[in-house]
Chain A
């Protein structure tokens, strides 16, 4: 019986899909440890792990070790993210609402 592992529930795929559309855009990721990292979204996966390129620490640089490297890429585990600040014009809120509604419908079924 070759059943694949259950794919991510649609709820998670909504944000995955959403973030996929933001790949290449500049975002600020605020972590649960209050660290804010600004960078270009390079990739995201279904766990919402985030890879950023060209990162810099926004706000006072309490973590200068990041600032020392010239080219900076980072990988952030999805579970430690608190917020992701996005450019507003990159988001289609209507579409997002629709997607959320569809997802809710699906979950009901």
Chain B
């Protein structure tokens, strides 16, 4: 029997005794209690339905029982209030699901039946699952080891275990595996927020299950924890219980033959109390150290019990661990320790309170080959660490697999024979077997935790949220595709990474309301953050800022401009994608926006001068002095119109020596070559000429014969400059060859420029000449027009214009 604070008495149907439901049943003679197994957890599960509680209280029969067990509950037996709080929590939990309410009344009697069910074998259990499903009572469900596959969203278990409706259904196949436990987590759930939420989001709203207050949560059970009592030991718990019975230790009777456990032996947390107690006591610690021990024992047990509750697989593991020693130890220990066990055992109640009851008593069906089964379970563990790659970008996956294969071949070559590997494997198994940290959690629990994490990562806009990853692999794919294109003709099917996108849902916060109260409670929660401080945000306008000191710092100003322009650039680059995603009607607006942004960018680049003239390149030069400014310009160029781009080019050419000097450290100018060449391609001849002029730094009007053109010289000595010059020349040559050549030929300036250029080229010592990125092939023909053969030869060798030399 178990007694609750409220005085309810619940007597679950234990082994051999008649099922008696406290409030409804007769009073229980003391003597009977000795034989009754006390199912604290079951009681907790079954009893705490608010409505029933009230009913219970009214019944007078409880009084005797209250007196009877009061001491045990509140006197020496009680340590702290954890279990009570947990019970209340549990009660609340069970209140929440709307479905539970309906079933409460019917639930009680059903619960009794259910209790009986626990002792039936799996086959019957399964057949009854359907019925149980219909009940949908959380209390019942909690008593059920396996979660029925189809549960209402509001169901306690389903909502906890399955974060989303999609995932909710998967549990069916896990039937056998799920025996283990309605996990501790479910019971330890703190009060849920008002249940008007979407079921899909239920999980997200819940705080992580509160673990028990014990500080040693989750510590692996001591190797001595005899969680896995072998089948022969099945009777032992009974024995224990008999001994322990006088105390209202809420220990669940061993549920024997419940389910075939895939994980081997398992013991209910309660059994842990009994059995492990002794073995815990016996094993690592001498009995004399009782007080310390108790605490430790508690902790161990708690850890073990928790673990047990958490996952029978852990039991399995431990059972695997302690199978042999345990069998021998247990009876001895039990007998020896019984006395000592009492106080600690009762104290365990407190701890068990925190993590609630539950776990459906693990099956007593001990596999004779417990280590084997354990190993079986562990075998899936990767000897080869095979991560789940389904969520990765296909390109990423490919890379990973390649890598893995490489490693594998490496290993194979290193390891030689399979024997080595087997040995390796067995040692691995050895480690696994002895690993106290293995199988602490059920797969289901692991999934549950993962789901919580994953839910947090659900994004409404995966493109933004996962920007780097997606784009990175897109680029990689493009590169590899480009390479492939060179090789084979047809493009192979390129899979795309599709990130599930969760629709952004608008949620109106509905504040908690109590009936009959005036106004609304404002409870601050994560979904409804309340303003705590009345802070007024004053943002300075642009004008103000310009008046500030920042203006004085030119470089900083430039940096700010660059960043602003970058934002625009990113937006503009994004437009194509947006365009595809948008509706027909929105598209013109998008185009307009895009154009506007491009203009803004250009203005930013050149400095916003209201006048027609752009007198100074200063602004632009400043931008170009900064590395990221140069990169940005390179990226902007493709978006600009031809004139704008030409303007930029001119400005660059005009100031080239200066920029070159500034670029000495960064050497980033080269990134401009590619966009520049693209621009050049579109330029008319006149512009090309002027461009060349700029490069040569000749005033438009007159040719100034100078001994040496420093400007040009500087240009030639720089990689970028020389490359740019070549590009321009090459373009000019192209134009000459084309139909538009007529203009160019007639253009004196061009001729002059060419002679100047050649002169300079000849003059410069070869050593000083920079190495261009690429030498256009038509330069030779270009030069041949303007220089005589001798000089041509010189140029040839100097510039390595002929293919062969290079």
Interface residues of A (CB under 8 A from B): 1-8, 10, 13-14, 17-18, 20-21, 23-24, 42-43, 45-46, 53, 69-71, 73, 92, 94-99, 101-102, 105-106
List which B413-447 residues lie within 8 A (CB) of chain A: 424, 427-428, 431
If A13-B465, A17-B466 touch, whether A5 touches B205 (CB-CB below 8 Å) is: yes
If A2-B198, A2-B205 touch, whether A42 touches B385 (CB-CB below 8 Å) is: yes
Cα of A96 to Cα of B570 in the assembled complex, Å: 12
Contact of A24 among B199, B400, B566 (CB under 8 A): B400
If A7-B456, A46-B456, A96-B468 touch, whether A1 touches B509 (CB-CB below 8 Å) is: yes
Residues of chain A within 8 A of B526, CB atoms compared: 5-6
Contact of A99 among B403, B457, B467 (CB under 8 A): B467
CB-nearest residue of chain A to B469: A17
Residues of chain B within 8 A of A1, CB atoms compared: 196-198, 201, 507-510, 527
Contact of A14 among B468, B473, B507, B628 (CB under 8 A): B468
Interface residues of B (CB under 8 A from A): 196-202, 204-205, 383, 385, 387, 392, 396, 399-400, 403, 424, 427-428, 431, 453, 455-459, 464-473, 475, 502, 505, 507-510, 526-527, 563, 566-567, 570, 628, 631
Cα of A69 to Cα of B431 in the assembled complex, Å: 9
Which of A21, A45, A73, A92 is packed against the most chain B CB atoms within 10 Å? A21
Residue pair A5, B510 in contact (C-beta under 8 Å): no
A26 CB to nearest chain B CB (Å): 10
B566 CB to nearest chain A CB (Å): 6
Q: Return the 7 tightest CB-CB contacts between A and B, nearest first.
A: A2-B198, A2-B201, A2-B197, A4-B204, A17-B468, A17-B469, A99-B468
Cα of A96 to Cα of B200 in the assembled complex, Å: 34
Residue pair B205, A21 in contact (C-beta under 8 Å): no
If A5-B456, A24-B396, A73-B385 touch, whether A10 touches B464 (CB-CB below 8 Å) is: yes
B599 CB to nearest chain A CB (Å): 20
Cα of A13 to Cα of B510 in the assembled complex, Å: 29
Cα of A39 to Cα of B17 in the assembled complex, Å: 59
A40 CB to nearest chain B CB (Å): 8
Cα of A102 to Cα of B201 in the assembled complex, Å: 28
Residues of chain B within 8 A of A105, CB atoms compared: 567, 570
A27 CB to nearest chain B CB (Å): 13
Residue pair A2, B507 in contact (C-beta under 8 Å): yes
If A3-B507, A10-B465 touch, whether A102 touches B570 (CB-CB below 8 Å) is: yes
Report 9 cross-chain contacts, Cβ distance below 8 Å, ordered by A residue.
A1-B510, A3-B527, A7-B456, A8-B457, A17-B469, A18-B469, A71-B383, A92-B475, A102-B467
B510 CB to nearest chain A CB (Å): 6
Residue pair A101, B570 in contact (C-beta under 8 Å): yes
Residues of chain A within 8 A of B198, CB atoms compared: 1-2
If A24-B400, A43-B387, A95-B472 touch, whether A4 touches B467 (CB-CB below 8 Å) is: no
Residues of chain A within 8 A of B527, CB atoms compared: 1, 3
B474 CB to nearest chain A CB (Å): 10
Residue pair B201, A4 in contact (C-beta under 8 Å): yes
Contact of A70 among B428, B467, B567, B570 (CB under 8 A): B428
Residue pair A95, B392 in contact (C-beta under 8 Å): no
CB-nearest residue of chain A to B526: A5
Which of A8, A17, A73, A97 is packed against the most chain B CB atoms within 10 Å? A17
Residue pair A95, B471 in contact (C-beta under 8 Å): yes
Cα of A29 to Cα of B623 in the assembled complex, Å: 37
CB-nearest residue of chain A to B510: A1
If A24-B403, A53-B385 touch, whether A45 touches B453 (CB-CB below 8 Å) is: yes
Residues of chain B within 8 A of A102, CB atoms compared: 464, 467, 570
Residues of chain B within 8 A of A96, CB atoms compared: 468
Residues of chain A within 8 A of B464, CB atoms compared: 10, 102, 106
B255 CB to nearest chain A CB (Å): 35
Cα of A98 to Cα of B464 in the assembled complex, Å: 11
Which of B197, B459, B464, B473 is packed against the most chain A CB atoms within 10 Å? B464
Residues of chain A within 8 A of B200, CB atoms compared: 2
Cα of A96 to Cα of B205 in the assembled complex, Å: 33
A44 CB to nearest chain B CB (Å): 11
Residues of chain B within 8 A of A7, CB atoms compared: 456-459, 465
If A13-B465, A21-B396, A95-B468 touch, whether A42 touches B387 (CB-CB below 8 Å) is: yes
CB-nearest residue of chain B to A53: B385
CB-nearest residue of chain A to B628: A97
Residue pair A92, B453 in contact (C-beta under 8 Å): no
Residues of chain A within 8 A of B507, CB atoms compared: 1-3
If A14-B468, A105-B567 touch, whether A5 touches B204 (CB-CB below 8 Å) is: yes
If A1-B507, A18-B468 touch, whether A94 touches B631 (CB-CB below 8 Å) is: yes
Residues of chain B within 8 A of A18, CB atoms compared: 468-469
> Known pairs A92-B475, A94-B631. 7 more at Cβ < 8 A?
A2-B201, A6-B526, A21-B468, A24-B399, A46-B453, A70-B424, A97-B628
Residue pair A20, B202 in contact (C-beta under 8 Å): no
Residues of chain B within 8 A of A70, CB atoms compared: 424, 427-428
Residues of chain B within 8 A of A92, CB atoms compared: 472, 475
Residues of chain B within 8 A of A43, CB atoms compared: 387
If A3-B527, A5-B456, A23-B392 touch, whether A17 touches B465 (CB-CB below 8 Å) is: yes
Residues of chain B within 8 A of A21, CB atoms compared: 396, 468-469, 472-473
Cα of A46 to Cα of B431 in the assembled complex, Å: 30
Cα of A97 to Cα of B467 in the assembled complex, Å: 11
B293 CB to nearest chain A CB (Å): 29
Residues of chain B within 8 A of A69, CB atoms compared: 431
A43 CB to nearest chain B CB (Å): 6
Cα of A3 to Cα of B466 in the assembled complex, Å: 21
Residue pair A71, B399 in contact (C-beta under 8 Å): no
Residue pair A13, B466 in contact (C-beta under 8 Å): yes
Residues of chain B within 8 A of A8, CB atoms compared: 456-457
B199 CB to nearest chain A CB (Å): 7
A31 CB to nearest chain B CB (Å): 20
CB-nearest residue of chain B to A42: B387
Cα of A77 to Cα of B472 in the assembled complex, Å: 26
B177 CB to nearest chain A CB (Å): 24
A87 CB to nearest chain B CB (Å): 12
Residues of chain A within 8 A of B471, CB atoms compared: 95, 98-99
Residues of chain B within 8 A of A13, CB atoms compared: 457, 459, 465-466
Cα of A98 to Cα of B471 in the assembled complex, Å: 10
CB-nearest residue of chain A to B384: A71
Residues of chain A within 8 A of B196, CB atoms compared: 1
Residue pair B197, A98 in contact (C-beta under 8 Å): no
